Every structure is written in C-alpha cells, then in structure tokens.
Structure 1
Amino acid sequence: MIRQPATKYTAFPPVRMTDRQWPNRVIERPPVWMSTDLRDGNQALFEPMNADKKMQMFKMLCAIGFKEIEVAFPSASETEFGFVRQLIEGGHIPDDVTIEVLTQAREHLIRRTFEALKGAKKAIVHVYNATCPTFRDTVFNMSKAEVVQMAVEAVQLIKAEAEAMPETEITLEYSPELFTATELDFAKEVCDAVTATWGATPERKVILNLPTTVEIATPNIYADQIEWMHRHLERRDSVIISLHPHNDRGTAVAAAELGLMAGADRVEGCLFGNGERTGNVDLVTLALNMYTQGVHPGLDFSDINAVARTFEHCSQLPIHPRHPYVGDLVFTAFSGSHQDAIKKGFSAQKADEQWAVPYLPIDPADVGRSYDSVIRVNSQSGKGGIAYLMETEHGIVMPRRLQVEFSGVVQKHTDTHGGEVSAGDIWQLFSAAYLDATSPVRYREHHLFEHGHGEDMRQGIRLSVDINGVPHLLTGEGNGPINAAMHALETAGIKVQVRSYEERSMVPMGEDGNARACAIVEMAASGRGETFGVGIDSNIVTASLKAIISGINRLGLAGRAEQAA
C-alpha cells in the first residue's frame, strides 16, 4: 500500500497575498512566443535531430510565425555549435526572427557561446543558474551571496562580450533555475542584481525567465509567484517577464494561462508539449486555447496536419490520437448520441455566427481539418472491424488516418444498402475507392534513370500515364523515385504534396510467400484538402507510383492536367 503522502511530501506553502489581481483578469492579447523545440525539446529526444531535421524544424517554426526561436546550446557539442554557424553563415534566419542560445553561468561556456554567434544580426543570450535551497546547499554548497555573485559575474562577462561584438544586437535573458522552489525575496534579489548589472532600460529590456523547472505546486501558486514578482521587481518597465512551465503535474498549460493573467509577457515552450520528463508547456494547445476565446495567438496553425507530420518526422515522437486540437481522433464522434447532436449542430450553424456546434470546441476547418472525419461509423468497433478484416483477409495494414477515411466510405455504403457488410464487400469498396483502373489518371509504365555525378547525382523518371484517355509521357528528376515522379507530374499541371508515406508487404493471415508490396501515401493539394492513395504491385517503386496516382484521382486533379495540356 502506498504510504501516506504527509510522511514524505510537504505541500508547497501559499504566497501570502490578500489582494491578488490575476483571478479577475482574462487573457486579452497573445504573449511573445519563444519556441525551444530545437534546444529543450531536442535534448529530450531518444535520438536528437541531425542538422537536416533541425533545419526543417527551424523553417517550419518560422513559417508558423515564431519570432524568437531557441536554436541550440552551442557550448554543449560541436553539432549544436555547428548548427548555429549553419544558420548564420547560410543566411537562413529571417530578418524578423531572433535566434536564442542557452548557456550556463560559466566563463568558458559563455565565451564559446559568443563564438557561435559571430556574424548574427541579433540574438538572445540566455544564461541561467539554480537559485533554490536544494541546489545552494546540496549541489553547489554556496551561500545566497555566492549564488548572486555567480549570476552577476556571468552577466558582466556577457555584457563585455556583447560590447566586443557591436555588429550583433544582443538581448540578455536570465533564468533563476528552479524559480518556483526559490524563496520569492531571494529570487527578486538575484533578478534585480542581474538587471542592475546589465543596465536594463525600457529601450534595452532584460528578459527574466521564471521557470517551473520542475512543477511542484498547483497553477494558482505559480500565478501568485508571478504576480508577486511582477509587482515587486525593480525596473519593471525594463523587464520582460517570461514563463517556462514544465508539465510534471500535468498542469503546464493552466500554469502558463494563469501566469499570463498574473502579469507575464512571454512564454517559452515546445510544440505538442515535447521536453524533458513530462515535457514543456504545449504551445499548440496554449495558442489554440486563446483562439477559442476570441484572441488570435499570432501563430498560424491553419494546416495543423502539416505541422504535426513535420514534427513527427523530425522528432520521431508520435502525437497521441487524443491530443487536444491535433490528435487524429479529436474531431471524431463514435457515440450515437454525440453524432446526433453534432449533425444537428452543423445543420443549425450559420457561417456568419459564433461557433456553437455541440462537442466541437473549435471549427475543424480553422485548423485545416475536414468535416468528413467528424461523423463516421456508429462505434469504434465498426472502424476496428473494418481494419481487422482488411488486415487478416487481404494483408493490408491501414494507418489510423486511412482507417478513418475508409470507414466513411463503408458507412456511406451501409447507409444506402443496409445489412451486413462482408469481407468481400469491404474489399470491393476499397478497390473502387483506391485501386480503380478506370480512374481519370491511369498508370501505364515508368523507366528510372540517373542524372549527374557524385554528390550532384539525381534520380530521374520517365512516367507514362493516361489522363482522361490521352497518353502522356512525363519526365522529372528528384532525390528519389517518388520525388522525381512528383516533379514529373507537375509538368502536367498536377501539383500535390506528400504528407506521409509507408509501404508494407501484403501477406494475408495463413499465407506465406509471393507477397506483394502495398504503398500508402497521404497527399494534399491546394483547395482540394487531403486524402490517401494506395498502390499494390510486386515492385515497390511501381506500387508507390500507383499510390500517388490513386491519391491524384481521389483529389480530383485530372482537370488541372487537361488545362496544362
């Protein structure tokens, strides 16, 4: 039996404040957003991102609208240092984006950090040292005065390094690590010493980041701590108060929301809550929570699926199907009563009125999700049964989102015809939806070739297809057969994006040998939404090409090809 908590854990004492203001406030504007996906989120991965994936993630964060991005801990490794240099020397940093780098309050690490920043137009140098009693007494064996001195000396060095690099606009960020476990009067003492040493002014503000390095109390306690600092800090008009909530208690989003009500100006976090232990605050959830309350967050999540797929590719972390706003199943109702209420809500909803559809806190279209997935089968077992028959009878293992899409096809059939749907019926429906040989665009054959030499080697393809019965020979090059095929199809006016790709061997249960390849491609086209394409062939490249053409047909893009021709 678990022991009584009082014998081991002590509840965090409340902040003595009788006139707290935050409970009467609401969030009326978005904070300054800072993504730490490339630093805090990256160091928490099983396999940290390589330079290519970090660059892909960086560009996506810029596209979403982040203006401050913590890109590395450059003194930690050559990989981190090299990525900062790649961003600067390659000219990859947009003019309106400021990169941030992290360093401990140690001389050689600070100097190495500034070496990484040479040539940058502007940067935030984020320095930290722990301030709570446990670290002072157990880890550092330092007095309060010595901890303050550590912070002050680090800031003095950063100031000197910044003055020696006049071509770069340096902003100071300081974190009293373990802020929430630090005595408030001492946290204020350290922060005031930092802003005084830097010479903070309203024109040259210091970012004071007050983190829940480990979440140890309820969100209202954090709000009290933030409001106390907001009201007592010296040079408050020269300070940006930043939040960096972790999720050890599962309340990071609530802590961030209450912290903003308490006077904070800025939030640091990661997409989908990635980060050490239970993660950092989820910036997607936090931003879209504001959106549902009528506050535009200033970040663009209008194509949430594309953001999710890029994140999963770069981090190798799956997003839970029930994750708020983005999970594959969050806009899906399996309950009959929920379906009935949603159907009636859609019927009553007018385009120019406030959103009020039951069970849907946000319009799926606002995050790029379709309505098709909202009302499908009558129960989870219906969708699961379809997937089970497809796998056991035909050897096709469908990804979850394809299960969702195809279950809608089956449901339309059952609504029209009624009765039991057999495995044979399901296969016929699947074939008609994804493998129909009479579709407007039909695969005929292809030939691969290579172009270039050495590092400039490119994969080429000559792709023969029929478009509405007219033969076309399309040619393209890329970094592989699929990429080359996409470029070839663009010459016929067919422009699509591949969101995800997977291939499997088709081996129905109880059979072996003579396995065929099944390629499944998730695709999107501007103005046409998203769908899946499926291709089956003994050759995996051919199966992949058939899958792409299947998706093109499902997106209805043959007309674009006719116009291009």
Structure 2
Amino acid sequence: MKKQIILLDTTLRDGEQSLKFNLNTKEKIEIALALEKMGIDIIEVGFPISSPIDYQTSKELSKIIKNSKLCGLARCKKKDIDMVYKSLKKTGNFRIHIFLATSPIHIITKLKTTLNKVIEKISFMIQYARKYTDDVEFSCEDSSRTPINDLCYVVQTAINAGATTINIPDTVGYTFPQEYFNIISNLKNKVNNIDKCIISVHTHNDLGMAVGNAITAINAGARQIEGTINGIGERAGNCALEEIIMALYTRKKSMDFYTNINIHNIYYTSKLVSKICNIPISTNKAIVGSNAFSHSSGIHQDGIIKNRNTYEILNPRNIGLDKTEFNLTSKSGRAAIKYHMDLMGYKKNTYDINLLYSNFIKLADKKGQIFNYDLESLAFNSEKDNNTEYFTLKYFNVESNSDISVATIKLKCGKLSKLESATGLGVVNAIYKTIIKITNYNIKLINYILTAKSQTEESIGQVNVKIKYKKKIFNGIGFSKDIIKASVISIINCLNNIWRSNQVQKNILQINKS
C-alpha cells in the first residue's frame, strides 16, 4: 500500500527570508490561495513574532485558508509561541513549529550554553505549546551537523514532551545523500519512541543536494518534506517542492509513495511566486524552467515527433503547461521544420523542403533562433523580400519630464520617409505610440526585456521585445550603448518581421490565384 508524503510549504516564511523586501498581506494571501488550490498539506505562513505585518498577515490567512493546515514558526520562547497561537487560533486547525539549534557549533558559539540546557528548554517549550494545540512540530536546527547520539537524545526528549512531528533539517546544505540516509535510519533504529511522530526533513541547496537529500530521506523513513516553490530560500535556496512532487509522480512505479497535490496547478503557482517575489526562474530549472520542455537538437526533435517518450519523461500538460517547444536553430533538422510548417497548416506540396532547409540553415547561422514567421518568409517570399529591411531608423529623439515622455521618430518606410511624434507614460510607451502612428500597424507590446551585456560604463544594452499582431507573436532585438536607441531598434526589428509576414500572405494569395 502506497504511503502519503506530507508537504509543508515554507515559501511564505523561509522563501520570503531570501527576498530583498517583505511580501505584503495581499501578496501572501495570493500565494497562499494558490498553494491551497495546488493541494499543499501545510502552509507555513510566517514567523508571527518577527514583525507586526507578519503577525497580521498570519491572522488574515487564518480566516481565509480552509483546506490546508496553517503553521507558524516560533523560537523556544513563550512569547513566540503565544504569538503563533494568537495569529492562527481562528482557523481551529493549526500547527506550532518550534525550533532550537542542536549542533555543537550553534550551542557553543551562538547560544553559549550546553546540550543539557538546550534539551531542558526544548522539553519545557514543547509542553508549553501543547496547551494550545496537539499539533506541535520541533526542528533540531543544524541537525545534520549534530552528533548522532546527541540528536537521538534530543529527538526522544522532544517526542516525550509531546512533539508530533520532528524535523531533521540540513540547515546549511552540508550533507550528502548517503549521510542523510544514515541520519534518518539511525533515528528510526535508535529512538525507541520514534513511531509516535512523523519524521520531517527541511533541506537546503548550498551544495546542490536539497532535492536529492529529500528523496533519500523519504527512502530512509521520512514522511514529511519541507520546501518552497521554485526552491527559493536562504542563501542557495531550499528544496524545490515541484521537483519532489514530480519526481514521486514520474517514478511512482518504483517509489511506494504519493502526494495529495493537484499537479496541473504547479506551473501556474510557480509563475505566480516568481512574479510576486520578483525572482526569475532559471531557464534550465527542472520542471518549470522555460527549457524544461524545449528541444533544440535535430535528433531529439525527430525523436519527440515520432514518440514523445524518446526524450521526455514528463508530459508538460501534467503541470499545466500547454505544449512541448522546439527551438529552431542551426542544430535543428528537416523533421522539425516540416513539423512547424504542418502546425501552421502548410502542406508539403506547397513548398520545397530541401530549399527551405538550405535557406533556414543560412539564416539560423546568422540570426540564431528562428521563428515560425521566419519559416513562412523563407518558404514563400523572394530572396529580395527576405533581405529587405522595409523600415529603417533615420532619426529619433526622446524627451522626458517626470512620468511623461515625448518621442519623435523618423523612419524610412520603403521609399518614403515619415516623421511623427507622440506622448506616452514613460519612454518605451512614447516610442511605441510614435511607431504605431508612423506604420498604422495595430500592434500590442506584450513583453520588454532590457539586459546589460557587461557591468562597465561602456556596456551595450540589449532589448528584446515581443509584439502581438493579428494573433501572431513577433520577436525583435536591438543593441546599442544607448538603451533608448536599443529600444527603438528592437521594435523596428519586430516591424520588419511583421512586414515580411504580410508579404507572405500576399505571395500565397498570388500562388492560389495562379
């Protein structure tokens, strides 16, 4: 019979500790609701004693969250425990999470006390917390650097005092998986009352071992995993819960465990946390990174087309992501090009795949990533059209006064030159409005990213934009030491892609008529 792995999410507590700002109540509620919808068992809402906002937010969440159990963190101090109770008592179903360091380095240098006094304090404070709730978790801070006999003594005392969950955190991300397995196994074998509690683990990623350590701990007997969405947290971060969830789901035939998570909500929750916390998700991040379901190699793309399982062990739709993506680059093969042309509705007898592939390789070597509209242009436009920059920047000037900006731009449009000005809320908005006046294209700017190519005063700015036009997404890029000029160039680059796409439609109409 499969055993449940309980998931405690600490995004709102340990995750927030890594931010350069505090989440406000509204933001915490939004994340907590997403976690609840995702099916997280326990949400650690914060550290109520740490600030009035943390206390008030915890109190608000206790009125709103109904399905996930709420948990508050407390030091081994009465006032901390009291504050957790006061903030969460409305929910009627809450956990008090107490922690105290148990390793020699923490006891001697930080607490300036002895192990015996630490144990005495742990016992007293757990009993104190039990006045408020039967659900008390105790964390042996820095347990992975605590001598195993000392750790067994602490754990046994904590269980006798009334702790129902014992957390064995790898606080500084020091431990290797086999070492962690041995720690949990020793506790299971040496602590005579261990069956009266749930063993939990809270792993950090300082050596990149957080998820590996958590999976190893499960195999050794842990039944609760603590982590965060996207793995955010102190220093190098925490165990990424989405990775644990999908590891257990994907390897369910070989692992006798399950979670209560609605996996279809993973991607949405990940993107929400990234947006609210202002922490971008690494492109190669497991499960939720933009490259997690992207393929560039022609061999891989051909395999995926024939059978998804050749190069994908997860179905992106399981986590709420629309589809697999093929990055069209010079490494792509004919199969990927034909696949994209099929998706766009072009039958193979309407274009020459060999000629298209030859032109594709030339453009990919020059440009890098190729998009669908590039393929259309290569397949149906003349060589002259494809090499034409219909829109060319001749002059620009932008003046700003507080939030209001005025852009004046002169573009060469084919054989004509046009000059226009427009006012906008900010520089980019003013540029965007001016270009619309010049071209009469009904475009919508949906993404704008500015990147410095180096950290020096002479660094070149790179601007990437995405523009929506007639239900299609077009990409543009601009480089310049002047970031305003880079912004103008990126949008013009997009406009030329749109112009070529329009030429494609004209040429297809001509072909159909003839």
TM-score for the superposition, normalised by structure 1:
0.61
Among all aligned residue pairs of Structure 1 and Structure 2, give the percentage whose two residues are the same amino acid. 23
Alignment-derived partner of residue 99 in structure 1: 70
Residues 1:330 and 2:292 are matched in the alignment: yes
| Structure 1 pair 122–371 and aligned structure 2 pair: CA distance change class (3 A) | closer
Alignment-derived partner of residue 477 in structure 1: none
Alignment-derived partner of residue 37 in structure 2: 63
Residues 1:109 and 2:80 are matched in the alignment: yes
Give, in angstroms, the shift of residue 303 of structure 1.
4.6
Tell me the distance in 2 between the aligned counterparts of 1:123 and 1:224.
31
- SS of aligned partner of 2:135: strand
Tell me the distance in 2 between the aligned counterparts of 1:324 and 1:246.
16
Tell me the distance in 2 between the aligned counterparts of 1:51 and 1:319.
23
Give, in angstroms, the shift of residue 236 of structure 1.
2.3
Residues 1:196 and 2:122 are matched in the alignment: no
The structure in which a higher percent of residues are helix is 2
Give, in angstroms, the shift of residue 378 of structure 1.
3.9
Q: Is the 8 A contact 2:32 2:65 kept in 1?
A: no
Residues 1:210 and 2:210 are matched in the alignment: no
Residues 1:226 and 2:184 are matched in the alignment: yes
| Structure 1 pair 72–503 and aligned structure 2 pair: CA distance change class (3 A) | farther
Q: Which runs of 5+ in 2 are unaligned?
A: 333-359, 392-425, 449-470, 476-514
Q: 2:97 aligns with which of 95, 106, 126?
A: 126
Alignment-derived partner of residue 519 in structure 1: 445
Tell me the distance in 1 between the aligned counterparts of 2:220 and 2:390.
56
Q: Deviations over 1:380-437 (max 9, x none)?
A: 9x89x89x98xxxxxxxxxxxxx98x8134335546679798365899xxxxxxxxxx
Give, in angstroms, the shift of residue 272 of structure 1.
1.1
Tell me the distance in 2 between the aligned counterparts of 1:254 and 1:322.
17
Q: Which amino acid aligns with 1:61?
A: L
Alignment-derived partner of residue 299 in structure 1: 261
Tell me the distance in 2 between the aligned counterparts of 1:514 and 1:265.
63
| Structure 1 pair 229–113 and aligned structure 2 pair: CA distance change class (3 A) | same
Tell me the distance in 1 between the aligned counterparts of 2:224 and 2:176.
20
Tell me the distance in 2 between the aligned counterparts of 1:78 and 1:366.
39
Alignment-derived partner of residue 283 in structure 2: 321
Within-5 A mapping of 1:270-309: 270-294=228-252, 297-309=259-271
- SS of aligned partner of 1:38: helix
Alignment-derived partner of residue 360 in structure 1: 312
| Structure 1 pair 28–188 and aligned structure 2 pair: CA distance change class (3 A) | same
- SS of aligned partner of 2:371: helix
Tell me the distance in 2 between the aligned counterparts of 1:504 and 1:321.
26
Alignment-derived partner of residue 244 in structure 1: 202
| Structure 1 pair 217–97 and aligned structure 2 pair: CA distance change class (3 A) | closer
| Structure 1 pair 272–176 and aligned structure 2 pair: CA distance change class (3 A) | same
| Structure 1 pair 143–53 and aligned structure 2 pair: CA distance change class (3 A) | same
Q: Is the 8 A contact 2:8 2:43 kept in 1?
A: yes
Tell me the distance in 2 between the aligned counterparts of 1:208 and 1:143.
21
| Structure 1 pair 314–28 and aligned structure 2 pair: CA distance change class (3 A) | same
Q: Deviations over 1:107-159 (max 9, x none)?
A: 22222222223323111100010010111221222122111112112112212
- SS of aligned partner of 1:519: strand
Give, in angstroms, the shift of residue 30 of structure 1.
4.5
Alignment-derived partner of residue 165 in structure 1: none
Give, in angstroms, the shift of residue 298 of structure 1.
2.6
Q: Is the 8 A contact 2:284 2:291 kept in 1?
A: yes
Q: Is the 8 A contact 1:37 1:274 kept in 2?
A: yes
Tell me the distance in 2 between the aligned counterparts of 1:141 and 1:185.
21
- SS of aligned partner of 1:242: strand
Q: Deviations over 1:503-542 (max 9, x none)?
A: 944859xx9x9899952179xxxxxxxx87689xxxxxxx
| Structure 1 pair 99–359 and aligned structure 2 pair: CA distance change class (3 A) | same
Q: Is the 8 A contact 1:117 1:123 kept in 2?
A: yes
Tell me the distance in 1 between the aligned counterparts of 2:39 and 2:149.
36
Q: Which amino acid aligns with 1:368?
A: G
Alignment-derived partner of residue 463 in structure 2: none
Q: 2:8 aligns with which of 23, 34, 48?
A: 34
Give, in angstroms, the shift of residue 294 of structure 1.
2.9
Tell me the distance in 1 between the aligned counterparts of 2:241 and 2:387.
43
Q: 1:143 aligns with which of 114, 118, 121?
A: 114
Alignment-derived partner of residue 374 in structure 1: 326
Q: Which amino acid aligns with 1:176?
A: C
- SS of aligned partner of 1:288: helix
Q: How many residues align?
A: 386
TM-score for the superposition, normalised by structure 2:
0.67
Q: Which amino acid aligns with 2:206?
A: D
| Structure 1 pair 127–242 and aligned structure 2 pair: CA distance change class (3 A) | same
Q: Deviations over 1:290-317 (max 9, x none)?
A: 2211365431232544223211221110
Tell me the distance in 2 between the aligned counterparts of 1:57 and 1:44.
16
Give, in angstroms, the shift of residue 218 of structure 1.
1.2
Tell me the distance in 2 between the aligned counterparts of 1:240 and 1:366.
29
